[in-house]
Amino acid sequence: MAEASMGNRGYADDRVCEQVEELVRTALHEIRQPVAAVLALAEAARGLDGTTPEVRSYLDQIIAQVMEVSGAAASVLERPENADSPVDVDEVLDSVLDAYALTWSGTLTRRGCVGGLWSTGDRSTIRRCLVNIVDNAVRAAGPAGRVQITVHRGARSAWVLVEDDGPGFGRGPSGTGIGLPTTRRALQGIRGHLSLGAGSGMGGACVAMSLPLRAGAGYTDGPGLGGAARTG
């Protein structure tokens, strides 16, 4: 009876995820043209005579973020052409850290392995999953909170742990409730995995995502799990 109940729940969760993903695809299809227009306007403004270096720097940041949105939309709406190409995990992490440095007033710290981590799959999908996890942590931690990202290299997988000092699962600000289920499905599609647990030493929640490592990829250890590599 218990197994049947769990099976029914899993089926219901899958159905909800499918319905949500269809709604997301519809929404992303609708925003593609406005996103393309914003990108074109920003690029045009960047090339205008008299644009100061400071303004050009801001426009570069706008263009970079719009390109990330465009890539995320494409990863949902169509199968990426480079779905099996190597993905630089450090570059993806840096892009997420840079984005939250612009929009969040709390402290976001990266620790663990740095350099030489290459996964397989689609960059936009991996980044979208990481953004979903970090976004949950940021909302739980609040504007003055702390979020820590720790990277660990296993034999065949890279593990990215996202911890926060918020109140823990089910006790923080309510969201849509669809981020982690859809993230789990997306990770499964690239042979990754999502795990949930209590925070370790920070008092909040801990979410870990694993990514398959590209065969034969070397790596360089950073300061280890106990040393800070970057604070944003």
Residue 230 has pLDDT above 50, yes or no: no
Question: Model's pTM, two decimal places?
Answer: 0.69
Residue appearing with tokens 């100061």: 52
What's the whole-number mean pLDDT along residues 145-150? Answer: 95
Name the burial class of residue 211, with classes exposed (0-12), middle (13-18) and buried (19+) by CB atoms within 10 angstroms of its CB: buried
**Tens of pLDDT along 47-92?**
889 889 999 888 888 888 777 777 767 766 665 555 567 899 999 9
Q: Where are the domains of the chain?
A: 2-77, 85-231
pLDDT at 102: 87
Nearest to 204 by CA among 160, 161, 151: 161
Q: How many Å apart are CA 180 and CA 176, to the nearest integer?
A: 10
| Higher pLDDT among residues 4 and 192, named by residue | 192
Tell me the two tokens of residue 224.
């280890």
Phi and psi at 105, nearest 5°, equal -90, -5
Helix, strand, coil percentages (3-state) for the chain, rounded to 5, are 50, 20, 30
User: What was the pLDDT predicted at 61?
Assistant: 84
CATH of domain 85-231: 3.30.565.10
3-class DSSP state for residue 204? coil
Phi-psi region of 116 (alpha: psi -120 to 50; beta: other; left: phi over 0): left
From first CA to last CA, the distance across the chain in angstroms is 49
